[in-house]
Amino acid sequence: MKNEKFTQDEYDALYEIQRGIKGDRVSACIGRNTKRLSGLKLISIAHNGRISLTDKGEQTIFLHRCVLGLRAVSAQPGATLDADVAMFLGKKSHILERAEGGFELSDKGRESLQDITNQGF
């Protein structure tokens, strides 16, 4: 995946699609972002108009959650993370479990977070 930059509004649309669209109409947030997200193959639009996330869209959301997790642990050592994010960041040696609970960043995690920040993400 290239280093595509997404706005918070685009992430909001992806999360909203992930939760499921209620009713026949999409929100203004989804409507504003449909063309770009579809063009980047993050969402698909069925013939009946149903919008859903693609695998790439799911991956984008997961990576966003991982970055938010790194930032949370950086800002507050001991922060808790969703189980899937904690497992992934732990396998990648970006976080370490603390004896008193929660997590802290490893040196590798700090370096990765710095790289992410330097890229403007």
Amino acid at 120: G
Would you state the structure tokens that stand for residue 101, as one six-digit string?
């609970």
Domain that holds residue 99: 59-118
- Count of structural domains within the chain: 2
| 67 and 104 both lie in a single domain | yes
Helical spans, DSSP H, in the chain: 8-19, 28-39, 55-75, 83-91, 107-118
Same domain assignment for residues 13 and 47: yes
Quote the pTM value. 0.89
Q: Are residues 68 and 107 in the same domain?
A: yes
Provide block-wise average pLDDT over 10 residues at a time, the chain (121 residues). 78 95 85 96 92 96 96 94 96 94 95 92 79
For residue 3, the model assigns a pLDDT of 53
Distance CA 67, CA 6 (A): 13
CB 88 within 8 A of CB 65: no
